[in-house]
Structure 1
Amino acid sequence: MCKTCKAAFWLSILCTSSILLVSCASIPPIDACDLIVLDMPHGGRRIAVEPDGSGTYTYGALPAFGTFPAGTFVFEELYHDLRAVVERRPRETGEASGTVQFLTDPGSSGELFFVYDRDLLVDLLNTAFASRMEPTYEWQIEAVRRLNELWLAEAENP
């Protein structure tokens, strides 16, 4: 299975998985982490980042996905930044801006952690989208066009 298809498969699993919130002690070590998934559930934008910095972006339950190339993110930095954000969550939590998952193996749903740093989430989502690649196959073009429209609308009205 290609990396893009694997990431899309993982995202589909995550859309239907149950939510489990646990302590930071259960975040896997970086060498065991195969995928980082960021989600802004109030809008539906979601990205999955592979260790080489590439990944996929989706919107809500839309079956289409877009891709961004290797090097878009530095996986180690992303891991450490998000882990730090999760570990320093505020005492008065209020409403979370989104979630992050650190996945360790194909098909796993992993623990889900709330993220309260909205600016960081929006910046990461926008970075992925700004680096997006054109669809590879003819059958993807229309679906990705609609996906991109939804992302742009959400970015303008977060």
Structure 2
Amino acid sequence: MSILHTLISSRAMALSALYQDTPLWPEGTTFTDPDIWCGPQSLTALAAERGTPCVLIAPSGTRVEGDEHRTIVIATIRECVPRAGRGLPTELQIDCDLQALEARVLDSLLLKNPNAHHRRTCLLRSAGAQATLRARLPPSVRPGDLLALTCTGTIALAQIRLH
């Protein structure tokens, strides 16, 4: 094991310990196929009403100062590009800027199938941006699908809109 590998692993363990008892989704979130509900708000209906990307900010349910809110970012998958080679993750291009989300994403789910048990690693990318996120999504993911990313804190729509 290299020193670099040790450093990366210890950082990952420290971050996972930090969020170990933290709810990933806002308080009152329910997961039904084919939708996610944040309290009385359907995320699919929210995306249809506002277009994507869009955001919903809700209480996190934690009592930790500075962690009172979760932001749900809803984005549309524009393109799915399987990578050559066995075991390499599929690249998914989405319609939001990932730079503001890079270190803040706690979980990601497809709205059409949030309870999927079989998942594979995918790489999320924005058009023309360098930021890349890893997500575990069902193999049934297709262009046009809606993706919900839950993030720590509050994120404004202007931060994720592609320019």
State the TM-score, normalizing by the size of structure 1: 0.28
Larger Rg: 2
- Counting helix residues as a fraction of each chain, which structure ranks higher? 1
- Counting strand residues as a fraction of each chain, which structure ranks higher? 2
State the TM-score, normalizing by the size of structure 2: 0.27
